[in-house]
Structure 1
Amino acid sequence: MTFVDAHCDTITTIMKTGEALKSNTGHIDMDRLKKYDSFVQFFAAFISPEQAKMGALRRALDIIDKLYREIEINKNDIMLCRDYNDIANAIKSRKVAAVLTIEGGEALEGSLAVLRMLYQLGVRAITLTWNYRNQIADGVADSVTKGGLTPFGREVVAEMNRLGMLVDVSHLSESGFWDVISLSSSPIIASHSNAIKICSHSRNLTDEQLLALKKNGGVTGINLCPYFIVNEGKAEIKHVISHIEHIVGLTGEDTLGIGADFDGIDETPVGLEGVQSISDLINELLKLNYSEALVNKIAGENFLRVLKTVIK
């Protein structure tokens, strides 16, 4: 079984704490990732609202540099993957396959040239916005304006399609989501978003959005942030499974994966305290008589399909 986690903030977090990727007190480190035979981990360069106002590109480059340095330190166990062949080779070599992403299109600073240079550095997915408006689109926190993609944002989607990059609509306003759906010639992802039918947080996706994602051939990654899982009370594995059941029941087997948001969330559901617990979630699905084929798709195959289609 190959596991894919489509979103974590681990590199940004260890820059703050001064810890290392090999072993740390966060949710993800190499010591825990190496316990899996086959793991593809998306590593995000997160641009915070404060950094978005000034020096967004510099911040993205600092985080990318940190990932590069950590990969060099741990080169026997992890490799940066620029295309699907790299991912396949990493899996074959029993190395963690690292996919570099950016969370927050502010890093582009309004320039397609910057987008192309970030691609050259290995960036293969961009979350177009965080919660707020930028040069590309409105985020979910600005949805009251009903704003979607800007003219520049439309150019960004087209250029990402041309380059072979995953367009990530997590954090994007609903209007922006529908703009991306109408414009993208490639499958898109919502790297870390749940079902609003189960939990009414604005970061989650409506049934209509989930069905559109299915039609597009895209995938959403189950987010383990408790605020996106339950409306009130303590989040547990059973509540995560409620989102899984809803999305699979609505869209079928091909639209769901994992986007844990580890090291980007302050707390986790009970029983899912870090990357070491992802297998526990999968085992719980098997105990509930989910077919092995479906569990394999949720664990990683659905995201692998999109990666193979988009980043070639």
Structure 2
Amino acid sequence: MDLHADALVIDGLIIAKWARPVFEDMRRGGLSAANCTVSVWEGFQDTMNNIAEMKRLIREHDELLTLALSVADIRRAKAEGRTGIILGFQNAHAFEDRLEYVETFADMGVRVAQLCYNTQNLIGTGCYERDGGLSGFGREVIAEMNRVGIMVDLSHVGGLTSREAILASTKPVCYSHCLPSGLKPHPRNKSDEELRFIADHGGFIGVTMFPPFLRRGTAATVDDYVEAMDYVIALVGEDCVGYGTDFTQGYDQRFFDWITHDKGRYRRLTDFGPILNPEGIRTIGETPNLTAAMQRAGWPERKIRKVLGENWLRVFGEVWGA
């Protein structure tokens, strides 16, 4: 517990229902920062509305939160006992067909953007459709994201589009929240080859605990989550791995019905079934149990500190700049 309290703790992806109970749980869990989703299916205007609302919440709960635009902001949040909110997208749909919107959102504070969410858009293809690869517009978007300091996320992106994005980017890209298909075959999980490829090209891997993608599903515990991290680390080493829970805290079934829709008048892409996070880390406030599970697994302090947050901080600095 002392190690967790002292460590820098960065969750690479949370898509919870943004309200004070979640923010209090972030503090209870000792989060120094988190990549917080403010856009999935929304277009430009609705995403702007979401960002405005999140900034209002940060102002109203500033004893708990601060906006994180830089690694210095994350370090300051840690020192002040607050959580740095990193604004992130899980779909580039909000860029619409306007390249200049990339810089607009960067100016608003967005620091991470996933190219596709499960399905095809103007940039490329998601993991649930036949993958046509990165579009010409997609290459321009990546170049612009590199220029303005927005990290490219490929968690829900198809294999071919991901590979081409990794090669096109001049800055590190990430899977902010993924699991290895070597432990459980699933369209959302990444093969050993894909995990090695992103790491070999300077990219980053955040390991998720979303139950449908874990080896034991809803029977999983926090120790199974650490097992998945160890699997990835055995493939790529401990320097390019972090964690990204994909917490959906505060949402009900209507949220999952919305999040899993697609083109074609809300055609359903997938059905996750019951969602029950691993025992021991079912809420954000239980994040200290993750550190304890790492210790039970025999991880040295150096490895724990890296995966909890130091690795994320380093790669954010490489993408965002000073």
Which runs of 5 or more residues in structure 2 are unaligned?
A: 1-6, 250-255, 257-274
**Superposition deviation, residue 239 in structure 1:** 2.2
Q: Per-residue deviation at 1:77?
A: 2.2
Deviation at 1:236, TM superposition (A): 2.0
Instruction: For 1:60-209, list aligned pairs within 5 A.
Output: 60-142=47-129, 144=130, 146-209=131-194
1:94-145 CA-to-partner distances (Å, cap 9, x unmatched) read 2211110111111101111111101110001101110010011100011x2x
Q: Give the structure-2-normalised TM-score.
A: 0.86
Secondary structure class of the residue paired with 1:34 = helix
**Paired position in structure 1 for 2:263:** none
How many pairs are equivalent?
A: 291
Distance (Å, rounded) in 2 between the aligned partners of 1:299 and 1:233: 23
Structure 1 range deviating more: 243-252 or 34-43? 34-43
Identical amino acids, percent of aligned pairs: 26
State the Cα distance separating 1:38 from its structure 2 match: 5.3
Alignment partners' CA distance in 1, 2:218 and 2:107: 45
Are the structure 2 counterparts of residues 206 and 8 from structure 1 closer, same or farther at C-alpha, using a change threshold of 3 Å?
A: same
CA contact (8 A) 1:129 1:139 kept: yes
Per-residue deviation, 1:7 = 0.8
Whole-angstrom distance in 2 between the partners of 1:256 and 1:76: 30
Unpaired runs of 5+ in structure 1? Answer: 15-20, 24-28
Match of 1:213 among 183, 198, 203: 198
Q: Which residue of 1 aligns with 2:270?
A: none
For residues 189 and 202 of structure 1, the distance between their equivalents in structure 2, rounded to whole angstroms, comes to 17
The alignment yields a C-alpha RMSD, in angstroms, of 1.6
Contact 1:108 1:115 in 2 (8 A): yes
Instruction: Give the distance between the partners of 2:146 and 2:287, measured in 1 at CA.
Output: 31
Superposition map of 1:2-41 within 5 A: 2-10=8-16, 13-14=17-18, 21-23=19-21, 29-36=22-29, 39-41=32-34
Equivalent pair of 2:180/2:228 in contact (CA under 8 Å): yes
Deviations 1:12-54 (A, max 9, x none): x34xxxxxx222xxxxx22222235551111111323xx5xxx
Q: Which residue in the other structure is 1:283 paired with?
A: 292
Q: Compared with structure 1, are the counterparts of its residues 198 and 127 closer, same or farther at alpha carbon in structure 2 (3 Å cutoff)?
A: same
Give the partner amino acid of 1:100: L
* Per-residue CA distance 1:254-290 (angstroms, 9 max, x = gap): 1211110111774311221111122112211112211
Cα distance in 2, alignment partners of residues 72 and 99 from structure 1? 14
